[in-house]
Amino acid sequence: MASCTRYGCDREECREARRRTSRENYHAAKKEGPARVPSDEAYAYAVELIRASLSPTDIAERSGVSVTQVRRLLRGGLPGMLRVNSDAILGVAMPHESKPGRGDGWADATGARRRLQALAVQGFSTTVLWSESGVARLTVSDIRSGAQQRICLSTLRVIVLLHDRLWDADPLGMGVKLSAVARTVKHAEREGWLPTEAWDDIDDPACEPRKKPTPKYVRTAEDFGELTGRFGLNRRQAADRLGMSVDAVNAALGYYGKRTAAAS
């Protein structure tokens, strides 16, 4: 944690977290003004949440702000705080009548963008992602393309859950048309988007991708060839071993064949 360094911690990961936080604050200040803001508004709203029956732990869980900081805020021990934490607390919904808070907090869009791009690499189009998440198609498209640098915390949470559910799923197995999958995969390849496994920390803007991984269709074709050639499995058995539908395997083999022919 970045805050560890204030108390003498000299672990490299904590020092790097501190450097990363400093960079983020610097860039945020250049784009949107000071990264730190007075805590008065967040304090007043946190008090309202407590009066409305939430506990400090509830506020922490719903905002993503540490419970220690929430408690310090409620004790009046925070004259100032990071703007993103203030926004997150102000975005907590009031428990009565399911009314939203006075605003939705904001977050860096890097993690959401990389997750949506990774799902496109698998063949999930914006239409499917909209249908599965409820996030508007235009919003999905804008985040995925990088047109939005900051997004609502509520949107980020939805996209994280969506990615966690679909990152290893087969779109063909979910009933998505082969033509739609092929178009999306081709678009992702053209844009140079990367799969989930390319990132050590998918949320860290400073994280560099690993060496470009082998595309999924190549891995599928190579594994399929070994399973059928070396171990004598038939197509369905090989598909089951790969955890894919026969249609998905056929699509990968067809695409692999086209790419190999085009390269030769």
Q: How would you write the pLDDT of the chain (264 residues) with one tens digit per residue? A: 544 544 456 677 766 766 666 666 555 555 545 567 899 999 999 998 888 888 888 888 777 777 888 888 999 888 888 777 788 888 887 776 444 444 456 778 899 999 999 999 999 999 999 888 888 888 899 999 998 888 877 788 888 888 988 888 888 888 888 889 989 999 998 898 998 888 888 888 888 887 666 677 788 888 899 889 888 999 999 988 888 888 888 888 887 887 777 666
In a domain, 91, yes or no: yes
Dist CA 214 CA 140 (whole Å): 26
The CATH number covering residue 169 comes to 1.10.260
Dist CA 116 CA 109 (whole Å): 11
172 and 126 both lie in a single domain = yes
Q: Which residue is listed with tokens 């977050």? A: 107
Sign of the torsion formed by the C-alpha atoms of 85, 87, 91 and 92: positive
In a domain, 100, yes or no: yes
CB 170 within 8 A of CB 112: no
180 and 117 both lie in a single domain = yes
pTM surpassing 0.75? no
In a domain, 209, yes or no: no
In a domain, 205, yes or no: no
With CA atoms as reference, report the closest residue to 84 among 18, 20, 37, 22: 37
Count of the separate structural domains present in the chain: 4
40 and 68 both lie in a single domain = yes
In single-letter form, the type of residue at position 205 comes to P
In a domain, 206, yes or no: no
- Residue where a domain stops, chosen among 59, 75, 104: 104
Domain that holds residue 128: 108-198
Q: In whole angstroms, how far apart are CA 12 and each of 26, 126, 135, 168, 239? A: 21, 39, 38, 32, 44
In a domain, 140, yes or no: yes
85 and 126 both lie in a single domain = no
88 and 48 both lie in a single domain = yes
In angstroms and rounded to an integer, the radius of gyration of the C-alpha atoms of the chain is 23
Dist CA 94 CA 243 (whole Å): 43
In a domain, 207, yes or no: no
pLDDT recorded at residue 96? 65
184 and 145 both lie in a single domain = yes
In a domain, 203, yes or no: no
181 and 128 both lie in a single domain = yes
192 and 235 both lie in a single domain = no
